[in-house]
Structures are given as structure tokens and as C-alpha cells.
């Protein structure tokens, strides 16, 4: 293949499909300005497996973490540096944490490396991050990441800092669990991951009850198409952890007792009013039944049929779902014209 342009395309195709290439060719692609991000990601992964030019590989990965590089590439290069050269990976992670111009996602990746590093220097970094959490000097988007490693840490300095953070007096409604304040779940999530969880997580099974970006789908739970404009992130987090805290009218599950002794369960979707003297109940099979107001002897308080998500999802996954739900807002019709 004599044409340089065609050769470059051919090489990129080989990389894209995971075929092995000589290290010099991979290094050339790693520094190429016209190479797509998808190809570069595969190039970085391939380089990390090479042993014939370790210094050049390290240099290429470090260069990929420089200012001006796409965040996705910088994160990938940082993670691979950790596997190729743990000390250099830790140093680079510290640069991500201390430097300017890094996105929250990049700093989160750096915290993950600090959290898992067995190097002695990492212990001091973990203690420093935990201390920032305790003193309220950590960015909102990073608090859960530090809390996550701190709750399982055996290191005295980290444990003490976490104790002081959790010792701050909070109202019960501010706590998802005794050691997990809601404030950790409201910022720093990835809406793309959250969308994937909401639509595809088998255990959470969100689409069995909710509609997110369409009018079609289940009506067991309320539509969430515009929930980002209706609820704060704190309220969204609470609705995932404690679904019965605030129930949308018409979607609470109740048991109704009639004066003839009959009981039925379902969601009361309309109450008696000026236009109707009856309750309308949506039964579990989707059917609707009208109950004259005078026939009702009693009813239980409504509860949500949605299970608490904490335990089904990790705190980080809940944070991602919150970030996704926050994006669900009414579409601007004027913008389409």
C-alpha cells in the first residue's frame, strides 16, 4: 500500500478491530492529531501491553494526559499508566487532583487510583482527601468518591476524618442511611451511565413502571419525562432511596375497605369532587373501578410499590441516575423551529 492516506486508514481499521500492530506504528497513532478518539483509546490499550519500548510507551501515555486532550482520552491514559507504571500513575493522579482545568470525571478517576494504590505515598493522599471531606473543602462532585473508599478504609487518619464528617449534626431526612448523607448523591453523576441504568439495569427494572423519554410505556409509575424541572436533585435522590417519602398523587398503593366488608387494593387515581361522587381506583391488573364515596369505610395511607434502590444500586449508580433524571426537562419547542 503506497498511498500514505490509504495506509493510515488501513492501520486505523486494524487497530479498531483489535489486531496487533508493531509498537512504532502504535506510538505514531498515539500522537496523531487526525486520529479519532475511538482509535486512540484502542491504541492506548494496545500500547499498555507492549514490553519492547517501555519508556516510549510511558511517554506516550503521559502525553495523552496533557492539557487540551479530550477528557475521555486523559482518563483512559491515566488508568493505563497505573497498570504500566504504578508510581507514575499515582503521580499523574495527584496532578489531576491538584491541577487546574481538570473535569470532575477526571478527578473522580484520579481518586479511584489513589484509593486502590498500595504504594506508601497513596496513604498520605487518601488521608488528605478524607480531611478535605471532613472540613468541607472538597468539591460536591467528589465527595461520594472519597466517602466510598473512606467507609472501608482501615487507615486511622482516614477513619478519623470520616468520623468527623459523619458527626456533623444532620436531620434524619438528610440521611439516606446513618453513614450516607443525601448530599453525596446529588452531584458528580454521569448522565450517560444513568440513562443506561434506568433503561437496562435488570434488577432495578425501572422501565417496568416508568417512562423516561417517550409517552409510550408503563403507567404503573408516573412519567418522568420532565422530572428534572419538577424536582431538585436532592428530591430525586430521596425518591430513589425512599420512594414512599413523597408519592405522586394517583400512584400510591392503598388498601380500601368498603362498608359491605369487601377490601381491594390499588391506586386511587381520582377523588370525589364537584364532577364526581366516586373514587376511581386503578387495580393491579390495570383495570379501573369506581367506588361511590358513601361505600367507603376506610383506607390505608398510600405507599409506593417501588422498592428502595439503595441495595439494588450502589450509591455511585444512584448518583448517575440522579444526574440522568436531572436532564429530563420539557423540550423547547421554539428551539426546533
Asked whether the predicted pLDDT for residue 14 surpasses 80, the reply is no
Asked whether the predicted pLDDT for residue 334 surpasses 50, the reply is no
What is the per-residue pLDDT across 198-223, written as a single tens digit (0 to 9) for each?
999 999 989 888 888 887 777 788 88
According to CATH, what is the number of the domain 253-299?
A: 2.30.30
What is the per-residue pLDDT across 250-272, written as a single tens digit (0 to 9) for each?
888 899 999 999 999 988 988 88
Asked whether the predicted pLDDT for residue 6 surpasses 60, the reply is no
3-state SS class at 91: helix
Measured distance CA(268)–CA(163) in Å, rounded: 45
Give, in order, the Cα–Cα distances in Å from 257 to each of 263, 265, 278, 282. 4, 9, 14, 15
Residue 70, φ and ψ in degrees, nearest 5: -55, 140
More confident position, 190 or 28: 190
**Is the CB of residue 106 less than 8 Å from the CB of residue 79?**
no
Measured distance CA(184)–CA(318) in Å, rounded: 10
C-alpha cell at 115: 484509593
The b/e string for 48-80 (b: 16+ C-beta within 10 A; e otherwise) is bebeebeebbbebbbebbeeeeeeebbbbbbbb
Mean of pLDDT values over 113-120: 96
Cell 437496562, located at residue = 200
State residue 337's pLDDT score: 35
State residue 218's pLDDT score: 76
State residue 130's pLDDT score: 98
3-state SS class at 281: strand
Asked whether the predicted pLDDT for residue 7 surpasses 70, the reply is no
State residue 180's pLDDT score: 94
* Interstrand relation of 253-258 and 263-270 (parallel, antiparallel or unpaired): antiparallel
What is the per-residue pLDDT across 222-245, written as a single tens digit (0 to 9) for each?
888 889 999 999 999 999 999 988
Mean of pLDDT values over 28-54: 83
**Is the CB of residue 178 less than 8 Å from the CB of residue 294?**
no
State residue 220's pLDDT score: 80
C-alpha cell at 160: 478519623
Asked whether the predicted pLDDT for residue 333 surpasses 80, the reply is no
Domain boundaries, the chain: 4-171, 191-245+307-336, 253-299
The residue count of the chain comes to 337
According to CATH, what is the number of the domain 191-245+307-336?
A: 1.10.760.10
C-alpha cell at 153: 478504609
State residue 336's pLDDT score: 38
Asked whether the predicted pLDDT for residue 286 surpasses 90, the reply is no
Measured distance CA(326)–CA(167) in Å, rounded: 30
State residue 331's pLDDT score: 79
State residue 1's pLDDT score: 42
Residues of the chain above pLDDT 70, percent: 93
| Strongest mean pLDDT among 21-35, 154-168, 275-289, 292-306 | 154-168
What is the per-residue pLDDT across 49-102, written as a single tens digit (0 to 9) for each?
888 888 988 998 999 998 888 999 999 999 999 999 999 999 999 999 998 889
Mean of pLDDT values over 9-25: 68
Mean of pLDDT values over 99-117: 95
Q: Domain spanning 4-171: which CATH class is it, in words?
A: mainly alpha
How high does pLDDT run on average in the chain?
88
Task: Work out the pLDDT band at 246, boundaries 50, 70, 90.
Answer: confident
Amino acid at each position: 500500500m503506497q498511498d500514505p492516506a490509504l495506509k493510515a486508514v488501513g492501520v486505523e481499521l486494524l487497530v479498531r478491530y483489535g489486531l496487533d500492530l508493531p509498537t512504532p506504528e502504535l506510538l505514531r497513532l498515539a500522537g496523531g492529531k487526525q486520529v479519532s478518539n475511538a482509535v486512540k483509546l484502542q491504541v492506548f490499550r494496545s500500547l499498555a501491553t507492549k514490553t519492547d519500548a517501555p519508556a516510549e510507551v510511558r511517554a506516550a501515555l503521559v502525553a495523552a494526559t496533557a492539557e487540551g486532550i479530550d477528557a475521555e482520552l486523559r482518563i483512559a491514559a491515566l488508568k493505563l499508566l497505573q497498570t504500566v507504571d504504578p508510581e507514575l500513575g499515582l503521580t499523574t493522579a495527584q496532578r489531576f487532583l491538584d491541577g487546574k482545568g481538570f473535569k470532575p470525571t477526571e478527578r473522580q478517576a484520579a481518586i479511584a487510583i489513589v484509593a486502590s494504590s498500595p504504594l506508601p505515598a497513596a496513604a498520605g493522599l487518601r488521608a488528605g482527601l478524607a480531611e478535605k471531606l471532613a472540613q468541607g473543602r472538597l468539591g460536591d462532585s467528589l465527595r461520594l468518591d472519597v466517602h466510598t473508599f473512606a467507609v472501608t478504609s482501615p487507615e486511622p487518619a482516614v477513619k478519623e476524618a470520616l468520623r468527623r464528617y459523619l458527626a456533623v449534626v444532620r436531620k434524619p431526612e438528610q440521611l439516606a442511611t446513618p453513614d450516607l448523607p443525601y448530599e453525596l448523591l446529588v452531584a458528580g453523576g454521569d448522565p450517560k451511565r444513568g440513562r443506561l441504568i434506568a433503561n437496562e439495569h435488570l434488577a432495578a427494572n425501572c422501565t417496568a413502571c416508568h417512562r423516561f423519554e417517550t409517552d409510550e410505556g408503563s403507567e404503573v409509575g408516573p412519567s418522568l419525562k420532565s422530572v428534572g424541572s419538577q424536582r431538585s436533585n436532592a428530591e430525586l435522590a430521596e425518591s430513589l432511596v425512599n420512594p414512599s417519602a413523597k408519592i405522586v398523587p394517583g400512584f400510591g398503593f392503598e388498601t380500601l375497605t368498603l362498608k359491605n366488608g369487601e377490601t381491594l387494593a390499588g391506586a386511587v387515581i381520582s377523588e370525589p369532587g364537584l364532577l364526581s361522587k366516586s373514587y376511581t381506583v386503578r387495580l393491579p391488573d390495570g383495570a379501573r373501578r369506581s367506588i361511590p364515596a358513601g361505600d367507603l369505610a376506610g383506607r390505608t395511607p398510600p405507599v409506593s410499590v417501588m422498592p428502595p434502590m439503595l441495595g439494588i444500586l450502589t450509591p455511585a449508580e444512584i448518583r448517575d441516575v440522579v444526574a440522568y433524571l436531572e436532564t429530563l426537562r420539557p423540550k423547547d419547542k421554539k428551539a426546533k423551529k
